Structure 1
């Protein structure tokens, strides 16, 4: 374990010990507010019952997210309703899935869809993941062999995306996506899964795994709060900008009738 001390601290604050964990896929669940506060800032409604699991609904009521730590195996469920030509879809992710990876998917739900064709495998290839084909299955594995992304297709044509991470002690998580899950969401998930950026965890929340690399850092509460707030502020500003653009655009669906002069009209 290495230790880093950050400068620039102000008077009156006591630094707290945190840990940067790599690979992030084995960092453990983390603080669910990393996910929920961005959704809330972009107009998602909190449908949670007091003392119950987290439940949130998109502004258009077509997507629902839940996090339930009280049941077994527990974890995250994101479900999209059928809409027009798009079928119902679902993503189920284990409770130990790092929130930074969950946010890769959920942040994408708050943003406009890109015009480019999604490519789930491209982010993995950029991070040197190893890919292979087995019959109807396509498999990509991280360079350290601890994380994976699979596309499976059965003989009857049913397809499934499956991803996860596991260390040598059997600690880890898995995630499944139905074949109808929009590909840009699966791509956003694979991008977060393959990211080399570490995840930060507080004292007492570092997984006991021989496969992780840990760097100790001293962090002020104000710094930590500022980083968390920056995500929320950026998401809120982007949503406001999109909504302002939409409402300020001139309407083209109906045109005003041209003025007809009546002066001098004769019957």
Structure 2
């Protein structure tokens, strides 16, 4: 374990010990506000009851996100309503799914969809994940074998996406996505899952695992607040820009078509 001191400390603040954890898939759940505060800043409605589990709804009321750490098995539940050509869909992510990976999916729900065709496997390939040639289902595993992504075809013809992480100490989580889940959302999840960037956890919140690597860092509360606020400010600005662009579009009124044989207007 190495130790690093962060520069730019303010006066009168007491530094706190945190850890940068790799691989991120085994870093533990983290602070749920990493997800919820971003959604609030993006215009989502907080429907949570006081003292109850987190429950949020998209501005158009087509997607709902819940997090309940107390129910069994507990964790994240995301549900999308059928709309247009999009079928109803769902995703469930275990309680110990790192919030940074959950946010890969939930952040994408607040952003315009890319014009490029989604490819769930591409982010994994870029990070050198392996594709076992003889696997029963289409599968990719991380270079250290701690995490996986799979397109699971069931005997009855149903299919789903299945992912997760696990170590020999029993730490881990699983996630499932309906086959109808929009592929750009599954790709956003796989991108966050495969990211080599470490995630930060405070002292006492790092799982006991022989599979993780940690770097000790001293961080000021003001630094943590600044990083969180930067994330929130970015989505507020993006949301404002999109809403402004929509309201600025000129509205056109369709002209009535003249019927054959109709009365001509007088000159």
- Relative to the length of structure 2, the TM-score reads 0.94
Aligned to 2:119: 119
Aligned to 2:143: 143
Distance 1:253 1:111, change over 3 A: farther
**Quick one: distance in 1 between partners of 2:184 and 2:61?**
19
Aligned to 1:222: 222
CA contact (8 A) 1:136 1:154 kept: no
**Tell me, which stretches of 5 or more residues in structure 1 are unaligned?**
257-265
Q: CA deviation digits over 1:59-113, x for unaligned, max 9?
A: 0000000000111110000100111221110000000000000000000000011
Q: Deviation of residue 49 (structure 1)? A: 0.7
**Tell me, which stretches of 5 or more residues in structure 2 are unaligned?**
257-265
Distance 1:127 1:140, change over 3 A: same
Matches within 5 A, 1:128-167: 128-134=128-134, 137-167=137-167
**Quick one: distance in 2 between partners of 1:95 and 1:70?**
9
Q: Which moved more, 1:179-188 or 1:3-12?
A: 3-12
Aligned to 2:83: 83
Q: CA deviation digits over 1:116-168, x for unaligned, max 9?
A: 00000000000000013546610000000000000011243211100000011
Aligned to 1:71: 71
Aligned to 2:25: 25
CA contact (8 A) 1:22 1:214 kept: yes
Q: CA deviation digits over 1:6-64, x for unaligned, max 9?
A: 11112111111000000000000000000000000011000001111000000000000
Q: Deviation of residue 255 (structure 1)? A: 6.0
Aligned to 1:199: 199
Aligned to 2:60: 60
Aligned to 1:259: none
**Quick one: distance in 1 between partners of 2:73 and 2:224?**
30
**Quick one: distance in 2 between partners of 1:179 and 1:123?**
19
Shift >6 Å, 4+ stretches: none
For these two proteins, the number of residue pairs brought into alignment is: 259
1:108 paired with 2:104, answer no
CA contact (8 A) 1:159 1:179 kept: yes
Aligned to 1:231: 231
Aligned to 1:7: 7
**Quick one: distance in 2 between partners of 1:236 and 1:215?**
32
The CA RMSD measured in Å over matched residues stands at 1.6
Q: Secondary structure at the match of 2:177?
A: strand
- Relative to the length of structure 1, the TM-score reads 0.94
Distance 1:190 1:2, change over 3 A: same
**Quick one: distance in 1 between partners of 2:217 and 2:166?**
25
**Quick one: distance in 2 between partners of 1:16 and 1:255?**
66
**Quick one: distance in 2 between partners of 1:156 and 1:30?**
37
Q: Deviation of residue 184 (structure 1)? A: 0.2
